[in-house]
Amino acid sequence: MPDAQGGVTPDEQQLIQQWFQDRWKGAVMCPVCNTGGWSYGTYYVQAPRWSADALMPGSITFPMLPVSCNNCGHTMLFSIGQMGIKPYENPVQRNALAAFGSAPPPPPVPNVLARKG
């Protein structure tokens, strides 16, 4: 579980390194600058769901680990839940989820970055 400020603990660093070692196969090239050096930070970030109340205290968020290209800064986000790291439990968010129930599924989002043929 991250510390109260969202920092990566030493135990989580070991888990993260093992997770990437098991899954990061071969050279992963940056899609922006075509280099292969990556690093992750010492803090997690939260991605809010797309909704009218997304920035309200207690709104549903998704905890992520940013992994950035060492050359250009292009950043990928990895779900810490998928990595087996339990998110920091925010009582405000927990209470909001209990009152709201589960989040409705998001509408499909078009791929605006797809190249047109």
What is residue 68's predicted lDDT score, i.e. its pLDDT? Answer: 94
How would you class 84 by CB atoms within 10 Å of its CB: exposed for 0-12, middle for 13-18, buried for 19 or more?
A: exposed
Q: Of 4, 3, 21, 22, whose CA–CA distance to 12 is shortest? A: 3
pTM: 0.66
What is residue 95's predicted lDDT score, i.e. its pLDDT? Answer: 57
User: Measured between alpha carbons, how far is 43 from 77 in angstroms, rounded to an integer?
Assistant: 12
Beta-carbon count within 10 A of 61 CB: 15
Q: Which structure tokens are listed for 35?
A: 């280099």
What is residue 112's predicted lDDT score, i.e. its pLDDT? Answer: 46
What is residue 9's predicted lDDT score, i.e. its pLDDT? Answer: 86
What is residue 65's predicted lDDT score, i.e. its pLDDT? Answer: 92
What is residue 91's predicted lDDT score, i.e. its pLDDT? Answer: 56
* pLDDT by residue, tens only, the chain of 117 residues: 556 667 788 888 999 999 999 998 888 999 999 999 999 988 888 887 777 777 777 777 788 899 999 999 999 999 888 888 876 665 555 555 555 555 544 444 444 444 444
